[in-house]
Amino acid sequence: MKSYLITDPSLYGTTLDVLEASLNKVFSKKIPDFAVFRDKQTFDYPILAKFFIETCRNYNVSKVLLHGDYKLANELKADGVHLTSTQFDAIPLAKAFGLYVIISTHTYEEALNAQELGADTITYSPIFASPNKGEPKGLEDLKEIVDKIRVPIFALGGITTQEQIHAVQETGAYGFASIRYFI
């Protein structure tokens, strides 16, 4: 099962030195298959994103993505982009750049739309309780989506333990994505 690290400024920092220390700590324990730099607040996003890409490549992370900005992902030569659930119209634009595209989904209809528009992978969330993310969908709902959708699915939301990862694996999901698990 694939693992997908998602950064958050509250845990990974908003400056180069704190981001570097956080990534080095995380990568000294485990190298995820996928990693995305996600920071919706910083004005230094391009600088931090470039550093994030370089650091992930130094640690041999297979797929390195940026959050939301497919043009910057292309410019900085990231492998792809993780689009928000309001960016379905950007899927074909990102694909035109040759980027690997992951998009956030929260319903079957969104998952199906992402598949039809050519997303490479989706996240489906929240599976477990997660701060400020609403009612968890649960494992049965995840399994139902996995059985109906052809595009690979990362389970996301509240995944912080090996037990949860094992439970997600039992649904047939492609992988799990998490912010807190890796810290």
CB 68 within 8 A of CB 95: no
72-112 pLDDT per residue, tens:
999 999 999 999 999 999 999 999 999 999 999 999 999 99
Compute the distance between CA of residue 48 and CA of residue 34 in angstroms, rounded to an integer.
17
3.40.50.150, 3.40.50.11540, 2.40.10.120, 3.20.20.70: CATH of 2-178: 3.20.20.70
CB 145 within 8 A of CB 174: no
Structure tokens at 149: 């959708």
Compute the distance between CA of residue 49 and CA of residue 173 in angstroms, rounded to an integer.
28
Structure tokens at 58: 């130094």
Interval 163-175 mean pLDDT: 98
Residue type, 165: I
Please report the pLDDT score of residue 162 as a whole number.
96
Please report the pLDDT score of residue 37 as a whole number.
98
Compute the distance between CA of residue 104 and CA of residue 38 in angstroms, rounded to an integer.
13
Please report the pLDDT score of residue 42 as a whole number.
84
Half-sphere CA count of 79, side-chain side, radius 13 A: 19
Please report the pLDDT score of residue 43 as a whole number.
85
- Per this entry, what is the length of the chain? 183
Q: Give the pTM.
A: 0.96
116-140 pLDDT per residue, tens:
999 999 999 999 988 776 889 999 9
CA R_g for the chain: 15
Interval 142-146 mean pLDDT: 97
- 3: pLDDT strictly greater than 90: yes
